[in-house]
Amino acid sequence: MTPNFQLIELYADWRKLSDEECEALRHQDWGRVAESQARKKSLQDVISTVFKTCTVEQRRSAQIKEILSELIKSEQANQQLLERIRKTAEKERGDLGGVARTLRRIQGSYGQQPQTVWHSYS
């Protein structure tokens, strides 16, 4: 198998992992997201090794450029999805913080009586 073909296969594996990561993000399955990212990190080392064995012409081929362009789009889409999830979570956290403050004010307006166990000892 030529280094160029190996590189194409590795990039295809990366694409599959990016698709799995996207699906995990959609379901907010953070364990699967972390697993996909860990697998991509280890794949990155292999890609780097194979990339170094390719000729300059192979690295710059139209096919490799097209594959890399698609991978970049996929990674950017995952990043945008993650950013939308983060913003939604921040909004929900802010909303819950406001509810908690309102609840404390309501509780304070009723003047809670201290709860004592003993009123007197005789």
The radius of gyration of the chain from alpha carbons, rounded to an integer in Å, stands at 27
CB 45 within 8 A of CB 71: no
Residue 67 within any structural domain of the chain: yes
pLDDT in tens, 78-108: 999 999 999 999 988 887 777 777 777 777 7
Residue 23 within any structural domain of the chain: yes
CATH number at residue 17: 1.20.58
Banded pLDDT at 121 (limits 50, 70, 90): low
Residue 113 within any structural domain of the chain: no
Which helix (H) or strand (E) covers residue 61, if one does? Answer: none
Joined tokens for residue 77: 């889409």
**How far is Cα 79 from Cα 38, in angstroms, rounded to an integer?**
16
For the whole prediction, is pTM greater than 0.75? Answer: no
